[in-house]
Amino acid sequence: MKAIIVGAGIGGLSAGIALRRTGWDVTIYERVTEVKPVGAAISVWSNGVKCLNYLGLGAEVAKLGGRMDNMAYIDGLDGTTMTRFSFAPLVAEVGQRPYPVSRAELQMMLMEAFGDTHLHLGRQVTEVAQDGDTVIATLEDGTTDTADLLIGADGARSVVRTHVLGAAPERRYAGYVNWNGLVPVSADLAPDDQWTVFVGEGKRVSLMPISDGRFYFFFDTPGEPGETVPREAFRDTLRAHFDGWAEPVQRLIAAIDPERTNRVEIHDIDPFHTWVKGRIALLGDSAHNTTPDIGQGGCLAMEDAVVLAIALQTNTLGVEDALGRYQARRSGRAADLVMRARKRCDVTHAADPQKTRDWYDELRREDGTKVMRGIISNIEGNPLG
């Protein structure tokens, strides 16, 4: 049986590896010649790591991961610690450490695991169709390829989704811009074994350790969609947003490399539950586009890949039946996490300023239990227990 996958991001590559492990002949078409992810790094929470373990990549991802033993929330303005706690109870409860990792390294790890024989870079799929039991992908040069199954892992602006839904859903601007990149670990920014989050004025600054002595940083700032900021103005723009904030935040702004800093306007899409049409299925951001506020978009894509492969392997009533089971198992969980992320986004970014002030007060009384309970509830419900 042959599968065509459109897109070689986290979702498409994970699906390719998972399907191949269960005996499928897999071909991936990727639009760009060099896959450059939108972010510098990503937190692979324990549910995502379990999927990578399942795909045989446990040792590799552990090598890429930073040691995130603790978490602290800091008042961004006066620099005082609001709460600090160990992640050990979280890891004990869910059975797996989370790993913040460089995106480029995660992408490379997945590409190496899939191999390059059936991975076609620089090939854009422009149209998909089904004729009887055969799916057909048309590429930008007019050539076609056929298979028994097609997976649209083509991201937030998916063309396969337009085929499955019959229309392109609207993306919703979440009200903020995320600036992210990598800087060398430095004790005057934050401890190197801790996820450190500075909050205040509905803004957020985060530092997460990844491998090889690097911090993954991001700043969240309010702003209108469609604004353009030249790279040479990145530092001054961040200085203006964080005027009067504590010393480590000023040092971080000084330490960033604007040439390697990504500026991303954050969007999501209202959840929808039709992920499958015949032998064509959506997976990853094409099926559920979330804000990154709970760090679960990529993890959900990996979960999709595992569930899809298991559904195709363990159900014997045909591809369409297995895809229906995949959709039934995944769309509710994904919708739940998209809406949780949206809720978290609104509190973090002061959609209602009083709620955000209440959250800051809560953080000052927090011993870690409630924050970890929230993260654990995102991880629970994953397909691997």
Would you tell me which residues interact with ligand FAD (CB under 6 A)?
Answer: 6-12, 29-32, 35, 38-39, 42-43, 48, 124-125, 153-156, 159, 178, 180, 264, 284-285, 292, 295-299, 301
> For residue 168, what are its two tokens?
């392109």
First CA to last CA distance, the chain: 29
Closest approach, Cβ 153 to ligand FAD, in A, equals 5
Compare residues 300 and 312 and give the one whose CB is closer to ligand FAD.
Answer: 300
User: From residue 262, how far is each of 85, 182, 215, 353, 361 by CA, in Å?
Assistant: 30, 10, 15, 27, 31
Compare residues 49 and 74 and give the one whose CB is closer to ligand FAD.
Answer: 49
User: From residue 372, how far is each of 92, 173, 383 by CA, in Å?
Assistant: 12, 28, 20
Compare residues 28 and 310 and give the one whose CB is closer to ligand FAD.
Answer: 28
Compare residues 101 and 323 and give the one whose CB is closer to ligand FAD.
Answer: 101
Compare residues 263 and 325 and give the one whose CB is closer to ligand FAD.
Answer: 263
Written as one letter, the residue type at 170 is: E
Closest approach, Cβ 221 to ligand FAD, in A, equals 13
Closest approach, Cβ 216 to ligand FAD, in A, equals 9
Compare residues 42 and 379 and give the one whose CB is closer to ligand FAD.
Answer: 42
Closest approach, Cβ 97 to ligand FAD, in A, equals 15
On whether the CB atoms of residues 146 and 5 are closer than 8 A, the answer is no
User: What is the three-class DSSP state of 196?
Assistant: strand
Closest approach, Cβ 293 to ligand FAD, in A, equals 9
How many residues are recorded in the chain? 385
Question: CA-to-CA distance for 19 and 205, rounded, in angstroms?
Answer: 38
**Residue 136 DSSP class:** E
Compare residues 246 and 340 and give the one whose CB is closer to ligand FAD.
Answer: 340
Burial label for 242, CB within 10 Å (0-12, 13-18, 19+), is buried
Closest approach, Cβ 38 to ligand FAD, in A, equals 5
On whether the CB atoms of residues 294 and 340 are closer than 8 A, the answer is yes
Closest approach, Cβ 78 to ligand FAD, in A, equals 27
> For residue 228, what are its two tokens?
């353009």
